[in-house]
Amino acid sequence: MKEHRTKAYIYVSDSYDVKYIVSTIEQILYEDESTSYIFTPHYAVIDFLSPVFFQGIPGLDLSLRKETYLRENEVPTFIYERVPQKNREDLLDLLNEVKLNYYNPLEWLIRTDKIYAGDSLSVGPYFEPCTKNNFYEIHPFDTFEVYDIRHVAKTNLLRLKRLLEITTKNAYLMAGDFSITDENRKEIYALIYPLTIQEITTWKNKQKDGITKNSANYKGRKRIQISLPKLVEVMQEYERKRIDMEDAMLQLGIKSPATFYRRLKEYRQYQIKISE
């Protein structure tokens, strides 16, 4: 019997928009219109989540600590609450919005930007886990291998944010004598989370203080002075995908993406000029 499989991740977000992976979900649609849904909870992350923002996955009794939860020929509560039903009059319009030409509940959830207001859970696309030595993208269950923890990022704030993301996405880090695994994930989270939030709060407060001016004296925002060698160095790292935009902005002292893209344009124009 023919079948179509779709996999995704279920995340929960806290008040600081930190995302935690709580389960993998697989949907199997068969040609006879029967269905199977398989939930694989990730207890290594679930076990350190606060009940303030995570009360479980609707329809699943996580206290049973099952490795997988199977729902056959029934739409799980988690799916039913979030997707349009087949009898909706505007179903075709909703499918067209996400470029789907057939009814696939889980794929619709992955693609839609509509937000379910009943809880803080969301669905993200599935990525096949792999081993990496760069941190341009962090996906669940990836393994990162570097010689030293300092190679995670060049700034303390970005380093903390990446370590936290590795921890909350159930990824793994091997960095010399420092590691993040399922065995120490809860302890690493307890250490890194408050430090990261403190650093983010401090950075935001400094940013806020920098743009709060007396309106009577405000003459317009001054252009941030960046030396040409520094601009070239950082933009080259960015273009080669050795750092991401956030890291580049921190190194250049830029606070808005719009300013970053203007400076990137300047850098590219400079490169064209010197090559002529």
Instruction: Read off the pTM.
Output: 0.75
178-189 pLDDT, tens per residue? 999 999 999 999
Do residues 160 and 149 make contact, with C-beta atoms less than 8 angstroms apart?
no
**Is residue 146 classed as helix, strand or coil in its secondary structure?**
strand
> Nearest CA to 169 among 17, 12, 21, 18?
21
Rounded to an integer, the average pLDDT of 220-249 is: 80
- Top pLDDT among 212 and 45 is at 45
> Nearest CA to 11 among 135, 172, 168, 146?
168
Residue written as token pair 């959830």: 109
Q: How many CA atoms lie within 13 A of 72 on its CB side?
A: 2
- At residue 210 the predicted structure's pLDDT band, cuts being 50, 70 and 90, is low
Which of 23-37, 46-60, 125-139, 262-276 is least confident?
262-276
Rounded to an integer, the average pLDDT of 210-233 is: 67
Q: How many CA atoms lie within 13 A of 157 on its CB side?
A: 14
pLDDT of residue 212: 58
Radius of gyration, CA atoms only, the chain:
23
Encoding tokens for residue 38?
Answer: 């398989």
- At residue 107 the predicted structure's pLDDT band, cuts being 50, 70 and 90, is very high
Report the side by side order of strands in the sheet with 35-41: 69-72, 35-41, 19-30, 3-13, 121-125
Domain ranges of the chain: 3-125, 131-211, 228-275
Rounded to an integer, the average pLDDT of 27-48 is: 96
